[in-house]
Structure 1
Amino acid sequence: MTARIDHLVTSGTFSLDGGTWDVDNNVWIVGDDTEAVVIDAAHDAEAILAALGGRTLRAIVCTHGHNDHIDAAPALADATGAPVLLHADDLELWKQTHPDRAPDGELTDGQRLSVAGTELRVVHTPGHAPGAVCLYAPELATVFTGDTLFQGGPGATGRSYSHFPTIIDSIRDRLLTLPPETAVRTGHGDPTTIGAEAPHLEEWIGRGH
């Protein structure tokens, strides 16, 4: 059976630099009827468990360390035994949310995760956060971009640990080089494609200055 992509939206808050905002997050589940990985365990471990439906969870992959993408990760790990994986450059952000619980493993650029016969390639895309990563699944013609690339532009870089020129470099050099038909499945909001976003790079650079 070919791996499929399941999607649910969970709601909670995002907090950083002394502010808190209500947010809806996309949670992505990649797998088949027997095993899966979760990309960004946001807000509601029970809802994610229900969506897994008893499948073996191989890993909980964090696209970055902002609280709204990792707040349910420890509870989901405790319920399933799956390891939580995060890029080391986002450990400081992780500790703001989970000071007493470290991730179980590190994500590194070029790392390959396998589930249900499908490969997810880790692409380090700093900018929104130092350890932000995307997960590229060529067999599914999809890239999971977290908060690095959205429909209409790059993720926010106005808060601590973020940097606009870095996110532009990441998008230009690591994402817009993917095939144009690649579906972009984001951390918030609607999906898009690489081909739809690529023509607007110069506009984004202009907006950032």
Structure 2
Amino acid sequence: MSAAIERVVTHGTFSLDGGTWDVENNVWIVGDTREVLVIDPAHDAASIAKVVGDREVTAIVCTHAHNDHINAAPELAERTGAPVFLHLDDRLLWRQVHPDRGPDGYLSDARRLKVAGTELVVLHTPGHTFGAVSLYAPEMGVVFTGDTLFAGGPGATGRSYSDFTSIIRSIRDRLLVLPPDTQVLTGHGEATTVGIEAPHLQEWIDRGH
């Protein structure tokens, strides 16, 4: 069986710089009937583990280290025995949430992760956070963008460890160069495609300034 994608929507809060907001997160599960990879384990490890079932979890991958994308990672790792991966540049954000438990390994640009015969390529896409990454699965025609690119524009950059110029550069040079029919699966909200978003780049730049 070829790899498929499942979405689990979890509910919780996002906290940074003294503020807290209610959020819904997309947790993505990529794999087949035997093994899966989990992207952005948010809020509710039990619900994620229930969907995983008795399948092997080969890796837990965090697109960035905001608390709402990593708060369930240690518990899910304990439940499944899977390693947790994050980009090194987000280690300070991680420590704010999990000071006593680090990731099991660090992601780097162009690293390849394999699950159920499918390869996901790590794209370092800083801006929303310094260590934000996207995961591109060319065989599936999908890119998981975390909070870097949404339907309607880039992720927020008005808080600590973020930078607007960097996120625009990441979107322009790493994401919008992918095939136009590439499906963009985001950290919150609904999916979009590279072709839908690409024409609006200049609007985002103008709005950001």
TM bucket by the smaller chain? over 0.9
User: 1 CA distance for matches of 2:125 and 2:111?
Assistant: 13
Q: Which residue of 2 aligns with 1:96?
A: 96
Q: Percent identity?
A: 70
- CA positional deviation for 1:53: 1.4
Q: C-alpha deviations, 1:127-177, integer Å up to 9, x for none?
A: 000000000001110000000000000000000000000000000000000
Q: Which residue of 1 aligns with 2:79?
A: 79
Q: Which residue of 2 aligns with 1:145?
A: 145
- CA positional deviation for 1:52: 0.4
User: 2 CA distance for matches of 1:11 and 1:167?
Assistant: 26
The residue type equivalent to 2:95 in the other structure is K
- CA positional deviation for 1:18: 0.6
Question: Secondary structure at the residue paired with 2:123?
Answer: strand
- CA positional deviation for 1:2: 0.5
Mind listing any 5+ residue stretches in structure 2 that lack a counterpart? none
User: 1 CA distance for matches of 2:20 and 2:96?
Assistant: 14
- CA positional deviation for 1:63: 0.1
The residue type equivalent to 2:53 in the other structure is G
The residue type equivalent to 2:155 in the other structure is G
Q: C-alpha deviations, 1:17-67, integer Å up to 9, x for none?
A: 011000000000000000000000000000000010110000000000000
TM-score of the aligned structures, taking structure 1 as reference length: 1.00
* Root mean square deviation, CA, Å: 0.3
User: 2 CA distance for matches of 1:190 and 1:80?
Assistant: 28
User: 2 CA distance for matches of 1:5 and 1:54?
Assistant: 17
Q: Which residue of 1 aligns with 2:110?
A: 110
TM-score of the aligned structures, taking structure 2 as reference length: 1.00
Q: Which residue of 1 aligns with 2:4?
A: 4
How many residues of Structure 1 are paired with residues of Structure 2 in the alignment?
A: 209
- Detail structure 1 runs of 4+ shifted over 6 Å in the superposition: none
Question: Secondary structure at the residue paired with 1:139?
Answer: coil
The residue type equivalent to 1:164 in the other structure is F
Q: Which residue of 2 aligns with 1:167?
A: 167
Q: Which residue of 2 aligns with 1:37?
A: 37
The residue type equivalent to 1:49 in the other structure is A
User: 2 CA distance for matches of 1:164 and 1:146?
Assistant: 16
User: 2 CA distance for matches of 1:4 and 1:118?
Assistant: 9
Q: Which residue of 2 aligns with 1:59?
A: 59
